[in-house]
Amino acid sequence: MKLFVLALAATTLAGQTASVAQTLDAARAAMASARFCFLITVDESGQPRARLMEAFAPDEKMTIWFGTNPATRKVGQIRKNQRVTVAYYDPAGPNTVTLAGKARVVDNAAEKKKHWRDGWDTFFPGGPSGANYTVIEFVPDQLELISNSKNIGNAPATLLPAILIRSGNGWKPAAK
């Protein structure tokens, strides 16, 4: 039984515990380097469904936004089940970041305009105010990180990720 090990704070190769800030910084760096991620929803039969997405950079609270067509299956699945997972792989590290939490579809003109990229007109005719575009807001409540480039969560004996849990407006290591 190694359940207690999963709850430990991030451990570096030197045996030191990484701070929450160091873990979040390493996660942000890996997410930025990865560029693409997988947004994983759950379909009507309970089957997870993964989509390769280009997310916007996380904000200060680690909230992540996605642009998409409102007619997609993922939008319908999020409307029925808000629990989703977002997973990044940064081959440069290699580093992995996996976030679990809740997503919601936001059809707000200001948010759609804020979360728009030049060149998306081809995919979303009508631009950010068009009927072919909406945004998804993802608020994680758990973050798991293995960062080889920052030596976090990659101790050779365990290879267990650093795990953070959202606590109010901030983050803390998972309970021991």
Determine phi and psi for 144, rounding to 5 degrees.
-120, 135
Residue 55, pLDDT score = 97
Res. 9: pLDDT tops 90: no
Q: Quick one: what percent of the chain has pLDDT higher than 90?
A: 81
Question: Burial letters for 105-128: b for 16+ Cβ neighbours within 10 Å, e otherwise?
Answer: beeeeeebeebbeeeeeeebeeeb
CA distances from 168 to 87, 150, 154, 171, 172 (A): 23, 26, 28, 8, 10
Q: Quick one: what percent of the chain has pLDDT higher than 70?
A: 88
pLDDT in tens, 47-106: 999 999 999 999 999 999 999 999 999 999 999 999 999 999 999 999 999 999 999 999
Amino acid at 8: L
Highest CATH level, class, for 3-173? mainly beta
> 175 or 70: which carries more pLDDT confidence?
70
* Arithmetic mean of pLDDT over the chain: 89
Q: How confident is the model at residue 144 (pLDDT cuts 50, 70, 90)?
A: very high
- Residue 172: half-sphere exposure toward Cβ, Cα within 13 Å: 6
